[in-house]
Amino acid sequence: MSRRRLSQHQLRRIRDAQAQRRERAGRQAQRILEQHPESRLDPPQGGLVIANFGSTLIVEDRDGALHRCALRQNLETAVVGDRVIWQAISPGEGVVTALEARRSLLSRPDYSGRLKSVAANLDTVAVVFAPEPPLNEFLIDRYLVAIHAMGAAGMLVLNKVDLLDAPAREVLWARLATYRRIGYPVVTASTREPDGLTALHARLNAGTAILVGQSGVGKSSLIKALLPDREIRVQALSEATGKGTHTTTTSTLYHLPGGGDLIDSPGVRSFELQDIGREQLEAAFAEFSPHREHCRFANCTHSAEPGCAVQVAVARGEVDARRLASYQQIRAAINA
């Protein structure tokens, strides 16, 4: 989950470029409002942000039509998945005048270390992994802590199972038993097997989801297979923006054929743990809950304290020792 190190000069240039884009977006919105006073705007209506091009948002109305919109200058930046209030100024164009409350928000640090919002109102974040690179449960646990903290549900997707023979598949499936036991859905997927996406389709047929995971685990192939009409949608976005097919590099929300929405965000492979407090960390390890209330000390770290009920549960086999080790590792990292 490491990031490429940039020089101070490069970081300054990136920050300046981002500030200039924000300023241009604000000026564009202000020009539109000056050219189209509120008295001449169409009545407010609800919409869904399905793509963000910095100075331009693509908003989908209730009938599924796409509109190129500017964002009112005094509003927080809108991201893919945001529900907004917007007003039309001409066919296919409008102004976003308000953002509705978000139920979840996925953020990740940018090159300067500042948190950048990526997607809003996610119901599910699916952590994708594969036989290669090798399974790393500690990395999965970090993902799940961050997902829990942002207010979404986590699920695990073992992709490229066609690369495993039956014995190897059973071994890997057994390693994931802990996650199934504590309530996380775990599904297998393959774009090369006839029914390889059936289980994943069933899990994504309601709400809004996004796929995250390391490079090489096959997220792009999954998205391409899950969204057979993706290129048609990309072309529609290109026509709406007038900016050509470079929209394929922009986070975009797609409607899945069988129901549900999927956000394709090419830039999201991982996200760091940011501002995770002790209570949030404890809550993300829900299997500790029946035991930690019996710990002798209220601020027990479940490491070497006498009377730690979580340690006793590990000794009895009621809590996975590796999960406790993962908790200790993450706790040390966020307290560093």
Q: For 116-164, how does the pLDDT look when each residue is reduced to its tens digit (9 = 90+)?
A: 888 999 999 999 999 998 999 999 999 999 999 999 999 999 999 999 9
User: Which sign does the torsion angle of CA 8, 11, 17, 23 carry?
Assistant: negative
What is the residue-averaged pLDDT of the chain?
Answer: 85
pLDDT at 1: 41
Question: Are residues 252 and 158 located together in one domain of the fold?
Answer: yes
In a domain, 273, yes or no: no
Q: How many domains are there within the chain?
A: 3
Q: What would the mean pLDDT of 195-221 be, rounded to a whole number?
A: 93
Question: Are residues 203 and 233 located together in one domain of the fold?
Answer: yes
Question: Are residues 297 and 326 located together in one domain of the fold?
Answer: yes
Distance CA 161, CA 191 (A): 9
Tens digits of per-residue pLDDT, 162-184? 999 999 999 999 999 999 999 99
Distance CA 11, CA 330 (A): 28
90-99, 102-111, 175-184, 319-328, range with the lowest pLDDT = 102-111
pLDDT over 70, % of the chain: 82
Question: Are residues 113 and 232 located together in one domain of the fold?
Answer: yes
In a domain, 269, yes or no: no
Strand locations in the chain, DSSP E? 45-52, 57-60, 66-71, 83-90, 93-99, 105-109, 115-120, 124-129, 153-158, 186-188, 208-212, 252-255, 261-264
Q: What would the mean pLDDT of 102-107 be, rounded to a whole number?
A: 92
pLDDT at 312: 96
In a domain, 47, yes or no: yes
Rounded to whole angstroms, what are the CA distances from 224 to 100, 200, 221, 257?
30, 14, 5, 13
Q: How much of the chain is helix, strand and coil, in % rounded to 5?
A: 40, 20, 40
Distance CA 167, CA 54 (A): 49
Question: Are residues 28 and 87 located together in one domain of the fold?
Answer: yes
In a domain, 52, yes or no: yes
Q: What would the mean pLDDT of 287-310 be, rounded to a whole number?
A: 93
Distance CA 214, CA 218 (A): 9
Question: Are residues 118 and 241 located together in one domain of the fold?
Answer: yes
Question: Are residues 232 and 314 located together in one domain of the fold?
Answer: no
Structure tokens at 297: 């000390």
Of residues 14, 117, 96, the one with CA closest to residue 47? 96
Tens digits of per-residue pLDDT, 59-98? 999 999 999 999 987 888 899 999 999 999 988 999 999 9
Is residue 49 predicted with pLDDT exceeding 80? Answer: yes
Of residues 69, 104, 74, the one with CA closest to residue 89? 69
Q: Are 117 and 105 in contact (CB under 8 A)?
A: yes
48: domain CATH number is 2.40.50.140
Of residues 83, 31, 34, 89, the one with CA closest to residue 59? 83
In a domain, 283, yes or no: yes
pLDDT at 42: 83
Question: Are residues 211 and 116 located together in one domain of the fold?
Answer: yes
Question: Are residues 253 and 120 located together in one domain of the fold?
Answer: yes
Query: Where does a domain end: 264, 294, 320?
Result: 264
DSSP state of 2: -
In a domain, 272, yes or no: no
- Contacts by 30-39, CB closer than 8 A, 24 or more apart: 30/73, 32/70, 32/89, 32/93, 32/95, 33/72, 33/95, 35/89, 36/89, 36/90, 36/95, 38/87
Query: Where does a domain end: 264, 288, 304?
Result: 264
Is residue 259 predicted with pLDDT exceeding 50? Answer: yes
Structure tokens at 48: 């869904």
In a domain, 3, yes or no: no
Question: Are residues 41 and 179 located together in one domain of the fold?
Answer: no
Q: What is the dihedral of CA 148, 149, 152, 155, to 10 degrees?
A: -30
The residue ranking higher by pLDDT, 271 or 108, is 108
Query: Where does a domain end: 220, 240, 264?
Result: 264
In terms of residue numbers, what domain contains 314? 278-335
Q: What would the mean pLDDT of 284-306 be, rounded to a whole number?
A: 93
Q: Is this model's pTM higher than 0.95 or not? A: no
pLDDT at 147: 93
Distance CA 130, CA 128 (A): 7
Question: Are residues 255 and 322 located together in one domain of the fold?
Answer: no
Sequence-separated (6 or more) residues with CB below 8 Å from residue 139:
1, 214
295: domain CATH number is 1.10.40.50
Is residue 107 predicted with pLDDT exceeding 80? Answer: yes
SS3 of residue 273 by DSSP: coil
SS3 of residue 91 by DSSP: coil
Tens digits of per-residue pLDDT, 3-36? 445 566 655 665 565 556 555 555 555 565 555 5
SS3 of residue 96 by DSSP: strand
Is residue 301 predicted with pLDDT exceeding 50? Answer: yes
- Given pLDDT bands bounded at 50, 70 and 90, which one contains residue 273? confident
Question: Are residues 155 and 252 located together in one domain of the fold?
Answer: yes
Residue 325: phi and psi, rounded to 5, are -60, -40
Total number of residues shown for the chain: 336
pLDDT at 75: 87
In a domain, 270, yes or no: no
Tens digits of per-residue pLDDT, 211-247? 998 888 999 899 999 998 877 677 777 777 765 544 4
